[in-house]
Structure 1
């Protein structure tokens, strides 16, 4: 027991925990001073500090989720990691929506940024790095196909349907209730299948067999025995929650300062969503690149596509619910440019993973599309 506790509460983990809670305590004590108008220099300095603390805590969350992933095995372990990341994303978006001021497009901008960052920047970088190191990279095509099917439905419902069925780019209250229910049911069914009858579709394919669902490695990491590590699993889960809480508490202050800072700088409104997405997915990006270096292409897909499915499946119901409860106008309909880029991204993903192997050239194409998205943000 003592050895297990010592392996969980490492000096680095305790430092992250202390930094997160101490920062929240300091900001709470200075709250009366922060209510007054701040100079631009102090505002950006304070914002940079909060972002740094949130990033450090997010790395801690991902670290604990990775430990849980190794004990639980795929797809359960990767699911813990992606749900942790998606949860942080939902928390930050909700903090902005519940903060002062009107932010009708924050959910749309954040989820769109997450989509472009994950499916093009992160996947592209992973494929380039992995493709240059390994000649044979293959993902489980059935698993990738399942992710892609979910993404086509969820993202088109979020970004295209409001402009066609909604009012002013937003769902009417009755429509929002229906979308919330349908999204929760679909995402719940996906989780049941991913962790149950179709779990082999989300495992690495065998080296000597064709890339198909039946090729998942038998007796792989899914066969891990969580009961044998119950104390460690419980301890790491508690630590993960303790690291998430400072992110929740600090995100409100970050949202207020970020809104003020971008307004003073005259930056595009969509840049707020891009910054939130980059903060949240930086730790998972590093994890994905590590998987690519090891040639674990299905893990790359689980981390990237699985994270985006979780983000869309959790964020859309959450923001629509907040909109219904607070009376806020939740604008989800995307611009024609972003809808085109999203369609190109989905088609490119299909072309990339439908072949017998993926290459660095596929990755370069994904990076190209992300560069186009970055240009559109500042256009």
Structure 2
């Protein structure tokens, strides 16, 4: 019976990504309404669950921290494609889309995913434990890239408004790529042990061999899951773009700021990582959760800023990257609180709750600035 249930689960997780891509091909470029919106939303939700399943298969095969990196980079690359596509199609009102979506991703990952993971792990195991060396390095990199890309444009004077000049944008793009590349090399080569889960005694756990009792997938199964993961993520982001006009119409009808569109897009795109991080936290693999959270934040900025810098060559309107004063306060508070959370290497439900309150404050101010 258990074997048959596993076979059934395997079949639907392989069928849904294909269905999502086919539905994307049918609905691409069309105005959706009524039943189509409901169908797209349903398939999108199923594709998210399928993506999480295949990401975990790949992660189990390659081990940590490569497993977290695969999901974070895959999601972010497709997210960047979505942002650039919407910017090219959206006219002047898309000038702030990259900033809004990237900042939303930072707040959701550094406060939402991180807070939920710490809360889930500490409630189930009393205290959430993780490696402060690797997590601290990731947080420092996120803070640096976010400040260079999203805060400095508000204060530069080469161009009016919160915009970079061409040379400044080029520097920010190159700095983001360099820092992200250095981080990936640190995480996967030179100091891989800093990003592996640890036990209550502080000893490193090799997640590839010690995570649960399940047998490691074969190479064939891993490659199949990697293909299905790619299809699922293409489906998730593409279908999210398909329902984005409905989202924009709903936001405008509700009288909310256009920045809320970026928040909703980020929430949809980051859903697979959120579910994967929560499942890892419940297994007391908090380091995997934090790798996903901070790695996604870093990849979101480190890949989006260079992409929009290149896309700005074809964009006719302005590219607004500078944050408002309110958002800069929230970013600064997130970095300070994150630092105090990371330094001890242990967290209680209080730390998780603080991060979630920061996310709630961001969401409230996004809707009602």
If the TM-score is normalised by the length of the shorter chain, which range does it land in? Answer: 0.7 to 0.9
TM-score (norm 2): 0.87
1:157 is aligned, of 142, 145, 148, to 148
In the alignment, the residues of structure 2 paired with residue 286 and residue 158 of structure 1 have an alpha-carbon distance, to the nearest angstrom, of: 28
C-alpha contact (below 8 Å) 1:105/1:330 kept by paired residues: yes
In the alignment, the residues of structure 2 paired with residue 45 and residue 331 of structure 1 have an alpha-carbon distance, to the nearest angstrom, of: 36
Instruction: Establish whether residue 185 from structure 1 lines up as the match of residue 178 from structure 2.
Output: yes
- Quick one: structure 1 residues 78 and 249, their matched pair in 2 at CA, closer, same or farther if it must change by over 3 Å? closer
Q: Secondary structure at the match of 2:130?
A: coil
Alignment gaps of 5+ in structure 2: 1-5
Structure 1 match to 2:322: 333
Structure 2 match to 1:221: 208
C-alpha contact (below 8 Å) 1:90/1:314 kept by paired residues: yes
In the alignment, the residues of structure 1 paired with residue 34 and residue 319 of structure 2 have an alpha-carbon distance, to the nearest angstrom, of: 28
In the alignment, the residues of structure 2 paired with residue 49 and residue 368 of structure 1 have an alpha-carbon distance, to the nearest angstrom, of: 33
TM-score (norm 1): 0.85
269-278 or 78-87: which moved more? Answer: 78-87
Map residues 252-267 of structure 1 onto 2, 5 A cutoff. 252-267=241-256
Q: Secondary structure at the match of 2:190?
A: coil
Structure 2 match to 1:298: 287
1:73-132: per-residue Cα shift (whole Å, max 9, x none)? 011111111112222322321221122433011111111111222222222222222212
Q: Secondary structure at the match of 1:288?
A: helix
2:100 is aligned, of 103, 109, 112, to 109
Between the two proteins, the alignment pairs up a number of residues equal to 357
C-alpha contact (below 8 Å) 1:65/1:84 kept by paired residues: no
Coordinate RMSD, CA, aligned: 2.7
Structure 2 match to 1:24: 24
In the alignment, the residues of structure 1 paired with residue 143 and residue 282 of structure 2 have an alpha-carbon distance, to the nearest angstrom, of: 28
In the alignment, the residues of structure 1 paired with residue 61 and residue 284 of structure 2 have an alpha-carbon distance, to the nearest angstrom, of: 20
Instruction: Establish whether residue 78 from structure 1 lines up as the match of residue 71 from structure 2.
Output: no
- Alpha-carbon shift at residue 355 of structure 1 (Å): 1.5
Q: Secondary structure at the match of 2:164?
A: coil
Instruction: Establish whether residue 202 from structure 1 lines up as the match of residue 189 from structure 2.
Output: no
Instruction: Establish whether residue 310 from structure 1 lines up as the match of residue 296 from structure 2.
Output: no
C-alpha contact (below 8 Å) 1:162/1:169 kept by paired residues: yes
1:191-240: per-residue Cα shift (whole Å, max 9, x none)? 1121101111101124324xxxxx534x552799xx99332232222222
C-alpha contact (below 8 Å) 1:86/1:314 kept by paired residues: yes
- Alpha-carbon shift at residue 59 of structure 1 (Å): 2.9
C-alpha contact (below 8 Å) 2:128/2:348 kept by paired residues: yes
1:266-314: per-residue Cα shift (whole Å, max 9, x none)? 3211110110111112222122222222221211211111111111111
Structure 1 match to 2:224: 235
2:358 is aligned, of 357, 369, 373, to 369
C-alpha contact (below 8 Å) 1:180/1:321 kept by paired residues: no
In the alignment, the residues of structure 1 paired with residue 154 and residue 99 of structure 2 have an alpha-carbon distance, to the nearest angstrom, of: 12
- Quick one: structure 1 residues 8 and 186, their matched pair in 2 at CA, closer, same or farther if it must change by over 3 Å? farther
- Quick one: structure 1 residues 269 and 199, their matched pair in 2 at CA, closer, same or farther if it must change by over 3 Å? same
In the alignment, the residues of structure 2 paired with residue 364 and residue 244 of structure 1 have an alpha-carbon distance, to the nearest angstrom, of: 30
Q: Secondary structure at the match of 1:334?
A: coil
Alignment gaps of 5+ in structure 1: 1-5, 35-41, 210-214
In the alignment, the residues of structure 2 paired with residue 247 and residue 83 of structure 1 have an alpha-carbon distance, to the nearest angstrom, of: 15
1:31-89: per-residue Cα shift (whole Å, max 9, x none)? 4xx4xxxxxxx747644543443333233223212110010001111111111222232
331-340 or 47-56: which moved more? Answer: 47-56
C-alpha contact (below 8 Å) 1:75/1:199 kept by paired residues: yes
In the alignment, the residues of structure 2 paired with residue 70 and residue 95 of structure 1 have an alpha-carbon distance, to the nearest angstrom, of: 33
Map residues 22-171 of structure 1 onto 2, 5 A cutoff. 22-27=22-27, 31=30, 34=31, 43=33, 46-102=36-92, 103-165=94-156, 167=159, 168-171=161-164
C-alpha contact (below 8 Å) 2:108/2:359 kept by paired residues: yes
Structure 1 match to 2:3: none
